Each structure stands twice: as structure tokens, then as C-alpha cells.
Chain A
Amino acid sequence: MLISNFGGGKLFAYANKILRINLNGEIKEIELNENLAKYFIGGSGLAAYYLYKMKIYDFEAFSAKNVVAMFNGPLTGTKAPSTSRLEFCAKSPLTEIWGESNVGGKMAAFLKFAGWDGVIIEGQSDKPVYIYINENGAEIRSANGIWGKGCYEAQKAIEKEIKERRLSTAVIGQAGENLVRYACIQVDNSRHAGRTGIGAVLGAKKIKGIAVSYDTKHEIEIADSSKFEEEIKALNERIKDNFTCNMLKELGTAGYVESAEMFGDLPVKYFTQGTFDKASEISGSKMAQTFLKTNDGCFGCSIKCGRVVEIDGKIIHGPEYETIASFGSLQLIDDLRSLIEINYLLNDYGMDSISSGVVIAYAMWLSERNIHDFGIKWGDVEGVKKFIRDIAFKKGDGAILAEGVRRVGKKFKDENAAHVKGLEIPMHDPRAFSSLAIAYAAHNRGACHLPHQMYNVEMGLKIKEYGIISKDRFSSESKGIITARMQNYAEIFNCATMCVFVPIKPTQMANLLKFATGFNFDVNKIYTIGERIYNLKRMFNVRCGIKAGDDVLPKIVLQPLKGGSEENVPDLELQKKEYYKERRWSEEGIPTREKLEELEIAWTLESS
């Protein structure tokens, strides 16, 4: 593949332009190259290409040399449903490898409407700033008076200053300012780029927020609009008829809590207990019967899985499954009201709820074992709230927990920190669904359930086009193979960009991309692109020093448990062998030259 520069020509479905902002004030516009669009599509695919080429793997995550990329995709801003998804990418301060986080809201679509496929942010400011982007480019504005505020107030302050009707904002809270390693970015008051701590990278750059508005909407040209719309119609019908989509609309992601408990998929008491008899006290069903006012969602999405709740006369956003589990069952908190309050605090300070939930549960676990007394016990709601504040401001023991479980484990010489490559394990248990073992162990950003969602495959979702079928959720056989394939395919969601909750078939995805862009995509081609991107990110991680020995799981999630997981322990070694073979990676976990040549990214082997 010949990609010599960042230049290009006019393309269907894209805005054709990328904004390159250096915090020293230099702002450039670059054209999107057609080859790049064909080979990496958009979203985290394009971001991975640029960030690799910029060699950010060589630098410290908090240094001025780290770069933040935020990209939408060719489907963003079109009529294709649930495609206002933005990918924030950078080197992660939590894992010190490839970092990415996908977020909804309006920003991805508004960025496209303003005429941008993506933004690349370089350098470091010495004073707090926010970036204002519109169709004319970008402005770096002072964030004096905004710095120091929580996410909700900061968003209001920026909105007040800009006074544009069509405005979308992304901000960090105090956690990001104070470089909590799992700080998130809050978009449009309710959506979060949570994982891998990119909020802290913005904090290190002294960027309090990013605002995007548009006045005249950039017209997105579709290559074959009648076929594109036909495909969308069929997909919308599928969404309307889909049980999970309806469940998400009615109950939110937390509608899964009781089922998760039944399968043994709901982590309880820091991954050490297999059942939680209070599951229905903290679930989406309970929320629907108590605090729920309405549902809401990202721009252009009919599923609308977001929860809007009322508490003490105040209308706020309610927690989703991962937050409910990581602060509920994981910490033995069984009071939904408290979880709603905790969720609000996490959002306001701007902290990833999975990582913070796991790290606080770990503090409870370490305290119980007298390894270190954090002064917090299971189910201690007030203690948890205090710790959330202390973490955000790095006060007392909060400063220790602000570093994430891996560093906490190291500090206390304990091997039970629940993470992979530094990223805290999310709220799905590999003992319930065996393939999650290798899915977490070998994931490019560490332990993460997205976008692959292997639990769906273990619950019977079949993707026959790629031979992704699981016959037995407890068996480890063939799980390395199907997980590698699912990870490859799932990359497409983060490039297109489309929400992973959309029940789209590969043919529909390929057709949407083909009719939108006019590129000759089909089911096999999009799979190869997904595989290319997955391997590109792996090569980024190889440059960061990742090897086979890092593709492991902590022993805390490999102990048999009674309950829905029926004392199953996945065979990670078997899965890993299959996985490497399927991927054609060496025993050291490095993609082979042949594989990289086949994927046309052998240039990643060139010395840096």
C-alpha cells in the first residue's frame, strides 16, 4: 500500500478534511487521502494509522509528545442509525499502550456537519484552554474560570460562552485535571469516553474541553443514495424487531443485571463470589419501576438506551450496567438510589466508572485482608463517595487509588489486581463466558468487553459469515479462533462508526459502507480491514514493549465460583495457542511478517 503523505482528493461520505491542531497555536487542515479511507475507513482505524505514523508509542502518555486523535467515520452524520460515535485515541496513561475510547452524544455528527472527519491534537499548553471547532477551523481559547469545575458546570460554562444553538461539548472534570489515570471525557452531559484514561491526557495538555458547532451544515454526499436508504430501511426494521434493542430502550443496559447474575456473568465482591441475591434491587427493571423518568440517547439513534432519572426533584442521568455492577455487586452495594448518586459524582469528577469501581472494590478487598487498611468496607456507600472525591483530588489514599489497580497491586506486592495490561476488568466474567478469557487477555487496550462483546456470542449470537459460533459457553475449545475473528469484525464498528448495540449483519455493514463511500467493500473486505486495524494496534503495542507474557489474566478471575458460572474456569493457555495460530502471530505474540505483508502493513516493521 502506497501512502506517502496525508494529502488526497474528494470522497463520498467523508468531509474530506482533518483538522490538525498544535496547542502552540499552529492549526492546519489536511485532506483525507483516498487510500487511507479505503484501508482504515475512519474512527479508530484512521486514528491508529496517524498515531502510529507520528510514533507516539515512543513517548510518555503525559508528555507534550503524546497526541490525541478524535475521529468520526464515513457513516457518521448520514441517515444510518446510531452512527454519531466518536473515537478518542491516544497513548494511554493507565496502560501505557494503545488507548482508545468510543463515545456517543452529538459530537461525532456535529464534527462531520462542521466539515471534519477528525481532529488531531498535539503539544501541550501551559495555561488551561478549551478548543472551539466549527466549519472555519479551530480556536484555542482560555479556560480560565472553567478549569477547576466539574464536568456539568464546565459544560454549561462553555455553552454560555459560545452561545451557539448547534453545539456539542466534551469536557474533563477535576479527575482529568489532576491526572487520575482513568479520567474520562464527558460528552454532551451524559455520554462518556471512559476507558484508558484519555481524559487525563487532555488534562496533561491543559485542555479542559472541546466544543464543536456548525452553522452551515456540510452536505455529505452519498455514492449511491437510493441503495443506501434501502439498506437503512431494512436495518431500521431489524432494530424495531430486536429483543435486545427493545430491552435497551425500556430498561437500559442495566436491564441485563438479573440475567448476568443468573449466568454468573455479574462480578460480585471483587470477583470472588458467584451469586448476588440483591441483583434485582439494583437492576434496570428496578430503575424503571422507581426513579426512571424517560430514556434518551445519542444523536440519530432510535434505541436510546440512556436513562434519565429523578432523584429529590432533580433530573439527572442514571447509571448503566457497567457502573451498577462495578459499584453495586462488586462492592456489595445493593441500594439503587446510592448507585445513582455515585454515578452522578463519577460523571461530575470525570472518572471511568469501571476502573474506579474496580479500584475501590480492590481497596475493600485489600483492607479486609489487612494488606493495607484503606478504612473502607464492603457496602460502605459514604466511604465510597468520599473515596471518589479523594481520588479525583488525589487526597490521602485517594492518590494511591488514582493510579489504577495495577499500580496499587505493585505498591502492596499483591497479585490480585484485576486488570489486563493495566486496564481494569469490566463487568463480564470469563468464568461465565469462556471466550472472554482470551478476549480480555489479548485485547489491544487491555481488559475490555468492547467492541467484541464475546458474551453475546456465548449467548448464542452467530456470525456465520466468519464462522463465529459458540456451542458451549463453558468450553474453551475453538474460543481462541472465534474471538480473534470477532475482534477483527468488531473493529469495523469503531471505524464506520456505529454503536455496537445495532444488530447489523456483516452484509448490511458492508453494503452501508459500500453505498455510502462508493468503495468496493464486501463482507470479506471489511473483515480484512478490521484485521488490518487490529494488527496495526498490536504493532503499536509491540513498540510499547508488549509481548506474549502480557496476554494474561489475573488469578482473581481464574478461581472457580459457585453460581451461574458452575465452577467453570476457562483454559486460557489453550485459547491463547488457538488465538495466536489464527492470527498468525509468533509465540512471542508478535504478528509475523507474512501476516503483516498480507494485510499490507509490513511498514510497521520498519525501524522507528
Chain B
Amino acid sequence: MPKFFSQEWIGEYVKAINESEDYEKAAKGWEGDFLFVVEPDEEGEPLYAYIDLYHGKARKGFVVKDPSQINAAFEFRGKLSNWKKLLKGEIDPIKGLITGKFKLKGSMAMVMRYAKAAKVLVDLTKKVETEW
């Protein structure tokens, strides 16, 4: 079982995205790469992952060691405990943003417009068995 935000996990997740018709439909016009950030709940270092999403597909995805090397159009960050809730379906990305559990950098217009695509992206994480 791949560990959350490991290279193996990201690889399987990218595969799940690219196999999803729902995502392809919901994110038909989407253009924008993401830096996802998992902040530790207490001590420790943050985890980073980069995924390039384009017209309903993920063009590439990898674990990031040095975020200063990445210049993504969007950044979505939150605490590990909130990521767990998100992946368990207890909150969805828009609710997470509205309630301040996640922070977003990048075009608000794009993200709000693709609210459904964001939800599908989260739903797809369920296809990846995850070790926390």
C-alpha cells in the first residue's frame, strides 16, 4: 500500500485521474498545474506534490522536495489531519476552503468554476489505497 504523498502514491493517483471519464468531463476546459502541500499537524516537515492538470487529464505528477523550484499556477495547502478528512470524504474541497481548513493560491475564478472537477479529483483518491 503506497504511503500518502509518496512517488508511488502520486503515480497511482495520476493513473486514476487519467482513467476517469467523470474527471475528463468535469475538467474539460481546465488548464493549470497544482502544488499540493500537506502541513504537519504538529512537528515535522511539510510534504509537497506537483500535478499538472490539463483539459481533463493529468500530464505529469511527482513528489517535490524543494517547492521553491516549482512555479505552479495554483497552490492548495492544509494540515495533515484535514487532508485525512478530505480523503475520507468528511469534507470536500470547496467546503474545506470555505471553512478555512485549506488555503488556496491562484485564480479564484478558475477554482470556483471547476468546483465539480475538484470534487471528482478528491473522490479519485479513494481509488488509491493509502497508508497514512
Which residues of chain A have a CB within 8 Å of any CB of chain B?
Answer: 241-244, 246-247, 250-251, 255-256, 258-259, 261-262, 280, 283-286, 288-289, 456, 459-462
Q: Judge whether B80 is part of the interface by a CB distance below 8 angstroms.
A: no
Cross-chain contact of A283 among B95, B103, B104, B113 (Cβ < 8 A): B113
Determine the distance from Cα of A289 to Cα of B108 in the docked complex, in whole angstroms.
Answer: 11
19 new A-B contacts at CB < 8 Å, known A243-B100, A246-B108, A460-B98? A247-B108, A255-B112, A256-B112, A258-B112, A258-B116, A259-B94, A259-B112, A259-B115, A262-B94, A262-B115, A280-B113, A283-B112, A285-B112, A285-B113, A286-B113, A288-B109, A459-B94, A459-B98, A459-B99
Q: With an 8 A cutoff between CB atoms, is B15 at the interface? A: no
A247 contacts which chain B residues (CB < 8 A)? 108, 112
Query: Which residues does chain B contribute within 8 Å of A460, judged by CB atoms?
Result: 91, 95-96, 98-99, 101
From residue B13, how far is it (CB to closest CB) to chain A in Å?
Answer: 21
- Interface size range on B against A: 20 to 34
Docked Cα-Cα span, A264 to B32, in Å, equals: 26
CB distance from A192 to the nearest CB of B (A): 24
B110 touches A285 (CB 8 A): yes
Contact with A along B92-132 (1 / 0, CB 8 A): 00111111110110001110111110010000000000000
- A461 B98 Cβ-Cβ under 8 A: yes
Closest 9 CB pairs of A and B: A285-B113, A285-B109, A460-B99, A259-B115, A258-B115, A459-B95, A243-B97, A250-B108, A288-B109
Contact check, A243 vs B103: say whether CB atoms are below 8 A apart: yes
Enumerate 16 A-B pairs (CB-CB under 8 Å) in ascending A order. A243-B100, A243-B104, A244-B98, A250-B109, A251-B112, A255-B112, A256-B112, A259-B94, A262-B116, A284-B109, A285-B110, A286-B113, A456-B98, A459-B94, A459-B99, A460-B91
Q: Choose from B91, B108, B116 the contact partner of A255 (Cβ within 8 Å).
A: B108
Chain A positions within 8 Å of B91 at CB level: 460
CB distance from B77 to the nearest CB of A (A): 12
With both chains docked as a complex, state the minimum distance between the C-beta of B74 and any C-beta of chain A, in angstroms. Answer: 14
> Contacts A243-B104, A262-B119 known; A284 to B112 CB distance under 8 Å?
yes
Cα distance A280–B113 in the bound complex, in angstroms: 6
Contacts of B99 in A (CB 8 A): 459-462
Which B residue's beta carbon lies closest to that of A564? B116
Which of B96, B100, B109, B113 contacts A242 (CB under 8 A)? B100
* Cβ-closest chain B residue relative to A458: B95
**In the complex, what's the smallest C-beta–C-beta distance from B73 to chain A, in angstroms?**
15
A583 to B52, CA, bound (A): 52
**How far, in whole Å, are A44 and B46 apart by their CA atoms in the complex?**
48
Q: Which of A243, A250, A283, A462 has the most CB of B within 10 A?
A: A243
Given A243-B98, A460-B98, verify A258-B114 contact (CB < 8 Å). yes
Contacts of A262 in B (CB 8 A): 94, 115-116, 119
Contacts of B96 in A (CB 8 A): 460
Residues of A near B119 (CB, < 8 A) are: 262
- Which B residue sits closest to A256, measured CB to CB? B112
How long is the Cα–Cα vector from A286 to B99 in the complex, in angstroms? Answer: 24
